[in-house]
Amino acid sequence: MEYRIEHDTFGEIQVPADKLWGAQTQRSKQNFKIGGERIPLGVIQAFAHLKKSTAIASHSFGNLSEMKMKAIKTAAEEVIEGKWDEHFPLVVWQTGSGTQSNMNMNEVLANRGNQLLEEWGEEERLHPNDDVNKSQSSNDTFPTALHVAGVIAVEREVLPAIDKLKETLQQKSEDFMDIIKIGRTHLQDATPLTLGQEISGWHRMLEKTHSMLEISVESMKELAIGGTAVGTGLNAPAGFGDKVAEEISKSVGIEFTSAKNKFHALTSYDEVVYTHGALKALAADLMKVANDVRWLASGPRSGIGEITIPENEPGSSIMPGKVNPTQSEALTMVVAQVMGNDATIGFAASQGNFELNVFKPVIIYNFLQSAKLLADGMISFNDNCAVGIEPNREEIDNKVKNSLMLVTALNPYIGYENAAKIAKKAHKEGTTLKEAALSTGLLTEEQFDEYVDPSKMTGSQ
């Protein structure tokens, strides 16, 4: 491998000749050989939007020449397009402020920008700190990129995925609204409802969590940029944060604002905890839906078997013909990961000591992983399972007919205790509810048929 010599305040260091990063990135790469989890590309792209916007802002304040601004802007747009992904090698497990990732971006944009300036025949050259990082600190750039990346992930990945699954469940609810089935509480038989009503509960869960995410993610649209090192805005012109937020909004296509209090923005991640809490709520609901689906589809002969789901692949290496509810299993594993991520984010966010929280990389790594897993998991579950849910009408009808809890409809006519006697008698003797009721002499066959009508027990929801 060929190398070139780069330098920083620590001195000279060898850097691979074909890479755009510089000395500080190289030192981080060598000093933090921990795990393999890299800073997510979502953060890299958010950083590029930020650096593009800070260059435009610095130029507007007269602090950066037009050609330097153009070079940074062009290089940043190339990063956004994914042209230089391999030049961002740093892992999550680095300085807690994300300083090395900020410098990784500064160095890549400076070196690529200098290539552009040379191609354009310009004599000016970019410095990663003095130009690309002008009026900034890692302490306000990383949280800014963190918020931008998080908002993009929620609004452009998670919410559309919720919508897709929600639409499928809405259609299934409408299609199956007339199919009367037995309800279950405490994993025991309960009174009837329709399959459509049951699925409408799943649909409403997604409606609610969609709304929760929309509300919570608004808080992440306040950006720390302009606070520089400790929140005072040292070395940044007045109004810099507002101008950068305006430019980021244009670049990303989402409205962002400058945080009202930069001291809060640098040291607190309550907005991220809040928003990830909504992701956790979504995960909790998805666990319930996935579990309901696999229980209701259990069988095919010895389970509940009230619905069928698509058969996508063989389920066993030893049992021929076995097919498993794999999409439910994948989705519930996603939920387990998101729950763990929430614990990590909550703890990390609690560690904002004095003017800075130094758990930033692990916070955004877990946040973006949750968003990605939930979005992908919902789309996979929708496309490979939910769209293919169908009722097993024969099994559903048999379970309704054999349910002892239909006796609940008799409460207003013969009282709770008499109704309980009938249910227990039927269960003990292995007879139908009707046979047990008539044998008691408490009501006639005509009365039983009138009172115990499952279609009247489902309400009009």
Catalytic residue numbers?
186, 316
Q: Could you tell me how far CA 279 lies from the centroid of its own chain?
A: 5
Q: Distance between CA atoms of 19 and 28, rounded to whole angstroms?
A: 15
Residues 56, 65: Cα–Cα separation, whole Å: 10
Cα-only R_g, the chain: 30
CB neighbour burial string for 287-323, b if at least 16 within 10 angstroms, e if fewer = bebbebbbbbbeeeeeebbbbbbbeeeeeeeeeeeeb
Nearest by Cα to 56 from 252, 242, 247, 245: 247
DSSP for 246-280? HHHHHHHSS--EE-S-HHHHHH--HHHHHHHHHHH
Give the helix ranges, DSSP H, for 393-432.
Answer: 393-402, 411-414, 416-429
Other CB atoms within a 10 A radius of the CB of residue 144 amount to 30
Tell me which DSSP letter residue 407 carries. G
Distance of CA 309 to the CA centre of its chain: 25
